[in-house]
């Protein structure tokens, strides 16, 4: 009986020791997991801060390089922009197109306006010249730019808000033969105007002079912004 009790007591002691060891192991494992997770968070946070600092440094470096590049090439860029915008006088190979109202009298029942030059007639000539590669165009000394208007103003035509009357002289700089062919092509603007007796003459030259645009270039409502892909509004 005494031996049986001693055996039970030994088993109980062993179970208590095992239970204690298991409990200690579980607690240690939980503490380790918590410690590893906290360390991982600290490591990621530190890496994030480092990356953000590197990003800010690269942004500053990029901004400095852009300003330096613009400063070095500022003169060249400015002159190129002025040339493309029509703000400088130019000379080169091209054509001179002269238009005059028809000298024929309108027949009975015909609209007399068909025998005089209108804004759409000039626009047709301008469009043909541009399509043929004209790099600079003027009408009666008025340089055409992106904001130029060509419209009827009573018995006259307005270009850049400057009125002028026939005859009209259109100057264009470009490959002279291509420009001439664009105006004289079969079924083109020259043949159309000839039907109503409107006189159109084209001459080529190796030295066509076109003055600079002298109108306003300021913008009141349009402001520079970053390009947005797919923006429709």
Q: Which residue has the tokens 């808000």?
A: 161
pLDDT recorded at residue 215: 85
Spatial CA neighbour of 202 closest among 219, 188, 213, 216:
188
pLDDT tens-digit profile, the chain (233 residues): 444 444 455 555 555 655 556 555 555 555 555 554 566 667 777 777 887 788 788 788 877 877 776 666 555 557 778 888 889 999 999 999 999 988 777 677 666 677 789 899 999 999 999 999 999 999 999 999 988 999 988 778 999 999 999 999 999 999 999 999 999 999 889 998 888 888 999 999 999 999 999 988 777 888 777 777 666 55
Query: Under DSSP, is residue 185 helix (H, G, I), strand (E, B) or coil?
Result: coil
Residues 184 and 89 sit within 8 Å (Cβ to Cβ): no
Please state which architecture CATH assigns to domain 89-210: 2-Layer Sandwich (3.30)
pTM of the model: 0.64
pLDDT recorded at residue 17: 54
List, in sequence order, every residue forming a beta bridge with 162; answer none if it has no partner.
159
């Amino acid at each position: 009986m005494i031996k049986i009790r001693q055996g039970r007591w030994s088993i109980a002691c062993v179970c208590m020791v095992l239970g204690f060891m298991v409990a200690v192991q579980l607690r240690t494992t939980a503490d380790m997991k918590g410690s590893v997770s906290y360390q991982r968070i600290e490591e990621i946070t530190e890496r994030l801060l480092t990356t953000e600092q590197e990003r800010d440094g690269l942004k500053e470096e990029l901004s400095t390089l852009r300003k330096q590049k613009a400063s070095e090439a500022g003169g060249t860029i400015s002159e190129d922009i002025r040339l493309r915008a029509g703000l400088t006088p130019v000379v080169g190979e091209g054509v001179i197109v002269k238009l005059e109202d028809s000298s024929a009298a309108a027949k009975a029942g015909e609209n007399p306006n068909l025998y005089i030059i209108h804004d759409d007639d000039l626009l047709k000539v301008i469009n043909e010249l541009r399509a043929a590669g004209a790099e600079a165009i003027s009408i009666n000394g008025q340089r055409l730019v992106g904001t130029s208007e060509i419209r009827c103003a009573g018995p006259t035509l307005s270009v850049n808000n400057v009125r002028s009357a026939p005859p009209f002289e259109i100057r264009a700089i470009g490959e002279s033969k291509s420009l001439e062919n664009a105006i004289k092509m079969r079924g083109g603007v020259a043949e159309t105007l000839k039907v109503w007796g409107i006189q159109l003459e084209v001459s080529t030259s190796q030295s066509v002079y076109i003055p600079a645009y002298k109108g306003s270039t300021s913008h009141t409502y349009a402001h520079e912004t970053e390009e947005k892909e797919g923006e429709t509004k």
